[in-house]
Amino acid sequence: MIDEGRPLFLQISESVEDAIIEGSLPEEGQAPSTNELAAFHRINPATAGKGVNMLVDKGVLYKRRGVGMFVAPGARELLLAERRTSFGDRFVDPLLVEARKLGLGPDDLAALIRDRAAAASAITGRSAS
């Protein structure tokens, strides 16, 4: 899981975000403590704490004094919205620029994506949605 090229605290933050998005860490559920994250990933607790505090600052986690950290109500939707925006910025915008250069319109792109999704689902055995 550890990617040497990226700061550990960001990786910790993203792993907790992933658990929230996937549903394995539900809203109002208790999040792993800084010490648990540090022990699991074999990192300094201060580094784990920095990742957790990023999520607190973002409103994804909140502290219950003497009890621990919990997933905030609405955290999943907040993270999904943030990731959708990031996905658009990183992948869709460059795709649209390249499509424009190739003379592909929205219908052409949609057909291309449907065809590729169908081909990928045939390989993996999953239906394309």
Summarised one tens digit per residue, pLDDT across range 55-103 is: 999 999 999 999 999 999 999 999 999 999 999 999 999 999 999 999 9
Cβ-based neighbour number of residue 39 at 10 Å: 13
pLDDT digits (tens, 9 = 90+) for 30-51: 999 999 999 998 999 999 999 9
Angstrom distance (rounded) from CA 25 to CA 78: 14
Percent composition of the chain: helix, strand, coil (DSSP 3-state, to 5): 65, 5, 30
Q: Tell me how far CA of residue 3 lies from CA of 7, 12, 41, 87, in angstroms.
A: 8, 11, 12, 20
